[in-house]
Structure 1
Amino acid sequence: MQRRTVLLLGAALAVTPAAQAHAHPDHPTDPGGSRPIPGNYGQGWRPLAPIASGPRQEHSVAAVGDDVYVIGGIVHDGAGGVATTGQVDVYDTRRDTWSTAAPLPVAMNHPNVAVVHDRIYVLGGLSGGSEWQALRDCFVYFPRADRWRRLPPMPRGVERGSAAMGVSGRRILLAGGMRVLVPGAGGLQDTVATVSAYDVVTGRWEELPALPEARDHVGGAVVGETFYVLGGRDRGQVNVRDTVYAWEHGARRWTERAPMPTARGGIAAAAVGRRIYTFGGEGRHDGTSPNTVFDETEAYDTLRDRWERLAPMPVPRHGTAAVAVRGTIHIPGGGVRGGGAPVETNDAYCPARR
């Protein structure tokens, strides 16, 4: 695979043209190119080389081997707004360097991403200018060849972005998500409770029992044979939830588990061992943050059905994503203020051994 390695901040990012748009209603877009204040690292947190191509938000991540892929999302458009991108950046966790990969054939924000057998699957997302709508487009990426291949589209009616994602064997699970996000004050956010499974071998889609309540901007992880859907929101970023739902394939039903200590949407989540770690978020706040962005790091023990509060994020963010590589959780990009405020921050959290 031929990739260009970038050690410092790269050249200006080429993005798909789009009308100016805010990442979320009721919040302004940062017109100045957000730069976070350096965080107070320690207690398991450490800073890493920033995203070389520049700030990114509302993207997804995937890990193949030692590489972390940052896929799609929104970037500054140079005119005070944001635009959807198909950019794919690759972070080498061993060398602390960045490179670029073949871009997504269709630019997306909030893409639904999962890895099966070292191949990266993108199953729909959102895109548009003044109104972000769900896309049915699906692709698979072959890292060694640095090549995307188009797959048959999602079945009509189940397309959405911002779903909770999980993998069970050869099946990719998608829970919740949103079909429409209209940027601007009071804009429509069409959240769904739909749950789907995609078989990467047969290419078939299956509709599963819906979530008890609709969710988007939600955390998702599989531990053992159970798919967990954590937090999120329902039709607007202030309508945050603390609920945790669990799906066991054998029972084919959803059950409710211990709630998150802090209700929040726009979170990042990743599993290490039996525990699921949740980071940051956005939404109705208790007043301790003027920017409505959370710094919370909270871990869920799936065996004990208990939550634990951990060291907060040094640079609080929402609209980001997390993935574990060799027991360390990587969290590139995100927004540092409510709405569209993407940054190039890249850091990692290493859970204490238990």
Structure 2
Amino acid sequence: MKKRRIILFLLIAFIFSGVFAQKIEWKEKAKLPQPMRGAAVSCNNNIYFMEAHSKVSGVYEYNVVEDTWKKTTNMITRGWNVSLVEINGLIYVIGGAGGARGPLDRLEAYNPLSNKWNVLTPMPTGRQHNTSCVVNDKIYVMGGITKSSTTNKVVKTDKNEVYNPKSNSWQTLSPLPMPCESSIISAVGNNIYVLCGDVLWKYDTLSDTWETKKNCPVWISILLGSTIINDKIIFPGGQNKDEKAVSSVYIYNTTNDTWIKSTNLPKPIQIGGIATLNSKIYMIGGNDTDFNKYDTVYEGTLVE
């Protein structure tokens, strides 16, 4: 009996120590100029938010030190659900939804220092409802929604394509294990982790091979990015299987293939900008289940 109590005590201590180690402290920062949804990325020690809008898609710069926002320009191609990555001081805008135009094959680069845009070689497969990531200065785009060449309707895709900025060219790689509508991809080292609902895969960029990892405890979709701190992938908010915006935050530890539920966001948020800067998590704008837009900005600190 005594032995059982000791084991139970150790188990409880282990669980609670894990929860504490994964705690996130959320703090509200300067609001967006107006309620918006969209995507975000860090670049040159600032954060850039690109508005999801069918008429005018604005670009906004957040100065973390001064806690201030300013509008810089508009995107070349209007749309929403775009994917953003940064390489060597340039922000790459990938894909997205174009309304009647369907999923976009757009690839455009924005230089924040010169405030100028450049149109690059389009993706082989236009898509939306996906995220992108960077490994060894190459952009990987996986899954999402594309358009059927036979029915002209949107369909899920298993496409895995990589862009090389040096040659301004695309290459098709080994496809996902199955088509994925709202893929959330995150790079850690030479590996890419792809969350599709509650299914997690690891893609080895060096061998072009796939491996199944431990499933997420819940279904997560409609999340325009993730954050990575100390080899841990953080998924804040998003949408559940019932198509409801959620406030829950889950963390996947790539070193031991484990999941843990962390501190909730202050409110349910989907389609918000997600970025990482100086080991801080930023959740910007977004909307609730009924698509009422937010102007709130939250900064999260991972407490070890």
User: How high is the TM-score relative to the length of structure 2?
Assistant: 0.86
| Alpha carbons 1:226, 1:248 under 8 Å: kept | yes
Alignment of 1:1-354 (within 5 A): 43-52=24-33, 54-57=34-37, 59-74=38-53, 83-128=54-99, 131=100, 133-155=102-124, 158-179=125-146, 189-231=154-196, 241-267=197-223, 268-285=225-242, 292-338=244-290, 340-353=291-304
Specify the code of the residue in structure 2 equivalent to 1:147: K
| Alpha carbons 1:228, 1:244 under 8 Å: kept | yes
Measure how far apart 1:132 and its partner are.
5.9
Query: What SS does structure 2 have at the residue aligned with 1:222?
Result: strand
Measure how far apart 1:175 and its partner are.
0.7
Distance 1:84 1:295 in 2: 29
| Alpha carbons 2:246, 2:267 under 8 Å: kept | no
**Taking every aligned residue pair, what percent have the same amino acid on both sides?**
20
Q: CA RMSD in A?
A: 1.9
Distance 2:245 2:101 in 1: 22
Distance 1:212 1:342 in 2: 35
Higher helix share: 2
Distance 1:217 1:343 in 2: 22
Distance 2:44 2:67 in 1: 14
Measure how far apart 1:154 and its partner are.
2.3
| Alpha carbons 1:72, 1:107 under 8 Å: kept | no
Distance 1:164 1:96 in 2: 27
Q: Which runs of 4+ in 1 moved over 4 A?
A: none
Specify the code of the residue in structure 1 equivalent to 2:229: V
Distance 2:101 2:256 in 1: 40
Query: What SS does structure 2 have at the residue aligned with 1:44?
Result: strand
Measure how far apart 1:112 and its partner are.
2.2
Distance 2:172 2:24 in 1: 42
Segments of 5+ residues of structure 2 without an aligned counterpart are 1-22, 148-152
Measure how far apart 1:318 and its partner are.
0.9
In structure 2, relative to structure 1, the CA distance for the partners of 1:342 and 1:214 (3 Å cut) is farther
What are the Cα deviations for residues 29-80 of structure 1, in whole angstroms up to 9, with x where unaligned? xxxxxxxxxxxxx95111111111x1222x2211112211111313xxxxxx
In structure 2, relative to structure 1, the CA distance for the partners of 1:294 and 1:189 (3 Å cut) is farther
| Alpha carbons 2:24, 2:303 under 8 Å: kept | no
| Alpha carbons 2:24, 2:302 under 8 Å: kept | no
Distance 1:209 1:165 in 2: 16
Q: How many residues align?
A: 277
Measure how far apart 1:201 and its partner are.
0.5
Distance 2:258 2:158 in 1: 25
In structure 2, relative to structure 1, the CA distance for the partners of 1:250 and 1:138 (3 Å cut) is closer
